[in-house]
Structure 1
Amino acid sequence: MHQSLASLYPQHFSTLLKRADNALALGGFEHLLIAAGTPLRKFLDDQDYPFVVSPHFKHWLPLTDAPGSWIAYTPGSKPKLIFLQPRDYWHVVPQAPQGYWVEHFDIVIVRNAAEAVAQLPAGNRAVIAAACPTQEGVEANNPAAVLDYLHWYRSYKTPYELELMREASRIGTRAHRAAAQAFHAGASELAIQQAYLAAAGQTDAELPYANIVGLNEHCAVLHYTNFDRKPPTHGRSFLIDAGASAAGYASDITRTYAAANGGEFQALIDSVDAAQQGFVSKVRAGQSYPDLHIHAHHVLAGVLREHGFIRMSEESAVASGVTAVFFPHGLGHPIGLQVHDVAGFQQSECGGTIARPAGHPYLRMTRALEPGMVVTIEPGLYFIDMLLEELKAKPQAGEVDWARVDHFRQYGGIRIEDDVVCTDGAPENLTRDAFGLA
């Protein structure tokens, strides 16, 4: 793994230099300063929340635990890493940087924030950091022209980034298998989560997002993160939406399982899985993501009809909003340095916004797909009490088999999610490839 990263990193680094040069020229700046960030202090406390590094910082180098550090870049010069290594006996002090990437930076080790600030170049600076003043003497300005340009091109992953995302998928699928075994063994939600963390070898804070681990009716809560301590008497269904990190790059994977005797629910899972693989096959250059999302609604309307939940045509189910009751979120989102990565709505490298299609307020991407982009494809079908009650009051209620719907509430719902690379040809499914290797 590290050998391939070492060979891929120089091209990634060169790409970032060119993007930075162009972004600074667009904004009229001499220097680019990127803060790693500092931990947030808990209110009325002397403890911090877990540190989360800036995505712009970890784009340049695989350092995710370097609070108070900076990258300073002036076009034509070697980038400088100002690495904060405090004198501290209360905490573990970060090790001096080492690895395949260090030769590309002038590395200066400092002991405190004031020393770090003293190392930053003066002049006309684009400072990418938290919106409030980050260090005394340095104020973040986060210039729109610079950020818009960098965010736009962050959508196109370098081969180095794709290799890290493959690794994040390999870690995530290994942990997903452990979680599925725990479910089939009758474990509680908390015990399943603990099995996941053990197999991933990552702490809660190191994961790219808070895991969703739901049993039975809890599968209907889209962001269910409660972790019941006791297993249910009968485990009928299990939905897990959980990822992993590799040098700050994310995987985002969802699978749904039926209990060993869950024939009817397993049949519905199989139909959603087949539909999902059809959507993955359309992750092709030039494909409009909103069009793919609306296509997914039509296909899922067919699944609802096939399994006896609705009697209306696919077209009517989509046009009247009935499919949105069962599939109320977007088909997916960009992914990379962040789980919900930037620029999903951006019109061009100069900014702007591409609006969501009417009636689809939760879609997280409106761009057309292009080679190098990585997106999630995550259709779902759910039995959500609140949305079903609203549907009962509408004229389309007569087109629904309510007895069948009510029977399936005990399973909660289904979501199946893969991370997929758009290429010049057939898509690369990072998730299914990783499951195949596991």
Structure 2
Amino acid sequence: MNAQSNASLQPLYAAHLDIQRRHTDEALAATGFDALAIYAGAQHMQFLDDQPYPFKPNPHFRWWTPLAEAADCWIVYRPGQRLQLIFLQPADYWYKPPEVPNDFWTDAFDIKIIREASEAKAHLAGLTRCAFIGEWREEFTDWGFTGRNPEPLMHRLHYVRAFKTEYEVECMRRASRTAARAHKAAEAAFRSGASEYEIQMAYISASGQTENELPYPNIVCLNANTAVLHYQNLERTPPAEMRSFLIDAGAQLHGYAVDITRTYSQRDDDYAAMIKAMDEQQLGLCSEVRAGVDYAEIHLSAHRRIAKILRDFDVITASPEEALASGLSSVFFPHGIGHLLGLQVHDVAGFTVSPDGKQKARPPGHPYLRLTRTLEPGFVVTIEPGLYFIDQLLDKARTSPLGKQINWQQVERFKPYGGVRVEDDVVCTSDEPENLTRPAFANAN
């Protein structure tokens, strides 16, 4: 992102900090702390090697700053005082040290530069009733922290993270444009007959983000591989017959993730018609993202809508309500309809319905739903209905009473295509929901 685009975020970021300060002050006052010391995290070396694992900062750290090169950095927060960034810039000639930050957000911080990670202790000394947030390390034992990720405080901080500020939503809007551009490149690679690996490379090139910078490992799968929910392989050779393509891939900006799935057919066939039907039902589900709606009800609505598709395509004989009640729809739709989205792809506090950490359970029979809260303005959620022809689930259904309501001939017809999933990211507002994904695709080059 160029400097001018970043500069346009400055007023949104300033307002974001004001809101965040208010939330944090309330959380500290309610839990008896005077300060926060937020540790970005450390690099970890691979076993018996001198190479580190990819580093990602603690999301609590990135809630305050978009700084990505942040290993062994700290943020100190005290109500009513300027934010402090303790920034590690080692004197090193093996690796290029990170540059001292100078961007749209840095005016909000007093930046203290350290050369060794242990020097942070001197800058943290004297903080009273200070809560540590982050990945704990034994060397911090005598640094004077009053609590380590104290649960009552964490519940309150996690609870409010669901309410995205306009700065956070704008970061996700812009990340959506990056992801849409890369999705278009991936589709073009599929249409040209590329392998899964080649499609992945096309996506990465078009996104301008490395695999480590992307918010999660891309799911790039062809034909029957699309029935593997978190498919992780990248076959180097294209299949002899190209039938179907599913890609679940995102992008991020300043730590904020987007999560998008599209499915394509190589031909204008019944599978293509099934994708179109799923796309229409998915848009209907997106329209259900309204303030005051129980997200679990959207999940159950998805089961009815998917069961309708299955019945329309003669895969099942049961009505949508019967398929939901009996568990038949779960044979083909075994995951949740979506989740909160933000600094983490599966953002925190999906079951937390009050600041003190009270939890709301999933509906019985739906163990993989990640969000049960009632939607409120500012929530950003994914809507990702899918239907799949998964051998393990089908084999189990075949030997149960559910098998009598399945047209096994149609199952065999669709199995070589794997499955269908369509996923958008949607902002709950006080009025019409805002779909972040569809406009990004409509305007992608």
TM-score tier, shorter chain, comes to: over 0.9
The alignment status of 1:186 with 2:193, answered yes or no, reads yes
Deviations along 1:166-202, one digit per CA (max 9) or x if unpaired, are 1111111110000000000000000000000000011
> Per-residue deviation at 1:295?
1.1
The alignment status of 1:392 with 2:398, answered yes or no, reads yes
Q: Which residue of 2 aligns with 1:126?
A: 131
Deviations along 1:109-133, one digit per CA (max 9) or x if unpaired, are 1101111121114322110011443
AA aligned opposite 2:418 = G
Q: Assess if the C-alpha contact under 8 Å between 1:166 and 1:430 holds in 2.
A: yes
Q: Which residue of 2 aligns with 1:68?
A: 72
- Local SS of the residue matching 1:150: helix
Q: Distance between the aligned counterparts of 1:245 and 1:94, measured in 2?
A: 20
TM-score by length of 2: 0.96
Q: Which residue of 1 aligns with 2:97?
A: 93
Q: Distance between the aligned counterparts of 1:207 and 1:245, measured in 2?
A: 6
Q: Which residue of 2 aligns with 1:142?
A: 149
Which runs of 5 or more structure 2 residues have no equivalent in the other structure?
none
Alignment map for 1:185-334 (pairs within 5 Å):
185-259=192-266, 261-334=267-340
Alignment map for 1:41-60 (pairs within 5 Å):
41-60=45-64
Deviations along 1:230-253, one digit per CA (max 9) or x if unpaired, are 111111000000000101110100
> Per-residue deviation at 1:137?
3.8
Deviations along 1:303-337, one digit per CA (max 9) or x if unpaired, are 11001001112121111111001000000000000
Higher alpha-carbon deviation: 97-106 or 337-346: 97-106
The alignment status of 1:409 with 2:419, answered yes or no, reads no
- Local SS of the residue matching 2:197: helix
Q: Assess if the C-alpha contact under 8 Å between 1:285 and 1:371 holds in 2.
A: yes
Q: Distance between the aligned counterparts of 2:441 and 2:120, measured in 1?
A: 44
The alignment status of 1:335 with 2:318, answered yes or no, reads no
Where has structure 1 moved over 6 Å in runs of 4 or more? none
Q: Which residue of 1 aligns with 2:25?
A: 21
- How many residues matched? 437
> Per-residue deviation at 1:262?
4.0
Higher alpha-carbon deviation: 72-81 or 353-362: 72-81
Q: Distance between the aligned counterparts of 2:160 and 2:9, measured in 1?
A: 21
- Local SS of the residue matching 2:75: strand
Q: Distance between the aligned counterparts of 2:426 and 2:275, measured in 1?
A: 20
The alignment status of 1:159 with 2:166, answered yes or no, reads yes
- Local SS of the residue matching 2:212: helix
Higher alpha-carbon deviation: 144-153 or 39-48: 39-48
Q: Distance between the aligned counterparts of 1:134 and 1:268, measured in 2?
A: 57
The alignment status of 1:36 with 2:40, answered yes or no, reads yes
> Per-residue deviation at 1:76?
1.9
> Per-residue deviation at 1:59?
0.7
Q: Distance between the aligned counterparts of 1:287 and 1:434, measured in 2?
A: 26
Q: Distance between the aligned counterparts of 1:16 and 1:315, measured in 2?
A: 43
Higher alpha-carbon deviation: 121-130 or 171-180: 121-130
Query: Identity over the aligned pairs, expressed in percent?
Result: 52
The alignment status of 1:82 with 2:89, answered yes or no, reads no
AA aligned opposite 1:67 = A
AA aligned opposite 2:260 = I
AA aligned opposite 1:185 = S
Which runs of 5 or more structure 1 residues have no equivalent in the other structure?
none
AA aligned opposite 1:31 = A
Two-structure CA RMSD over aligned residues (Å): 1.2
Q: Distance between the aligned counterparts of 1:226 and 1:199, measured in 2?
A: 20
